[in-house]
Amino acid sequence: MANNNSTFSVIGSDINIKGNITASADLHVDGTIEGDIKCASLVQGESSQVNGGVTADTARLAGRVTGSITAKELVILKTAKIEGDVHYDALTIEQGAQVDGRFAPNARRREADSKPASSKATAASDVQSELQIAK
């Protein structure tokens, strides 16, 4: 995972960015982003707004996202409002979260499910998909 030299970048609540963001670092967003975000780990604050797609290994969303989300491990908190499709390997949704879109396992999972039965057991064990509803 992350090495000892990894950094953590913060986009404050008073920051508005128009354009795509790509970061190898972990990212904490409290501001407004008009564009796509691609990073290793994303933490979104309650007051944050993202108008674009989100791609991350892990994402913890608490604000508004208008766009598709792709994450290996995704946590949608009760204050989140999402408009867009959600692709995941592992998913946790707190009671009260609002999602207007479709949920689907990541492409690797769909490919594993479509393989012949002889290789399906091995492929399915490579990618575990879970859905948890948190209270």
Coil/strand/helix, residue 132: strand
CA distance 99 to 96: 10
Q: b/e string for 88-124 if b means 16 or more Cβ within 10 A? A: bbbbbbbeebebeeeeebbeebeebeeeeeeeeeebe
Among candidates 62, 108, 55, which has minimal Cα distance to 85?
55
**What's residue 133's pLDDT?**
52
Task: Give which of 109, 114, 112 is closest to 123, Cα–Cα.
Answer: 112
Q: What is the identity of the amino acid at 65?
A: V
Confidence (pLDDT) at 6:
60
> CA 97: distance to chain centroid?
14
Report how far residue 45's alpha carbon sits from residue 13's, in angstroms, rounded to the nearest whole number. Answer: 9
Q: What is the pLDDT of residue 134?
A: 52
For position 120, what pLDDT does the model report? 37
> What residue spans define the domains of the chain?
8-134
Q: What is the mean pLDDT of each run of 10 residues along the chain (135 residues)?
A: 65 96 93 97 97 97 98 97 96 95 77 46 36 50
Spatial contact of 41 and 61, defined as CB atoms under 8 Å apart: no
